[in-house]
Amino acid sequence: MITVSISVNGEPIFCRTAVNKGKNYDGTHNYLLDCGTIVKHHRKDKAIPLAIKMLEAIKEPGESK
């Protein structure tokens, strides 16, 4: 499991978690986010690109994505 947290002045304002759900034929792994979204990620790319993908799945209030 991986957790990414955003804090402002030491106070967490958002947290996103993901669980690795297995490998695909193309070498990527499926990560199931706490919001139900699946993110594909190559593990060789390490954690920071995965964290960015996780944060990109955040929908701000009033945002239509």
Spell out the domain ranges in the chain.
2-56
Query: How confident is the model at residue 39, as a pLDDT?
Result: 97
The model's pTM: 0.84
Query: How confident is the model at residue 53, as a pLDDT?
Result: 96
Token pair belonging to 18 = 């993901």
The per-residue pLDDT for range 46-63, each reduced to its tens digit, is 999 999 999 999 887 776
Element at 20 (helix H, strand E): strand 11-23
Q: How far apart are CA 26 and CA 33, in angstroms?
A: 20
The per-residue pLDDT for range 21-53, each reduced to its tens digit, is 999 999 999 999 999 999 999 999 999 999 999
Query: How confident is the model at residue 62, as a pLDDT?
Result: 72
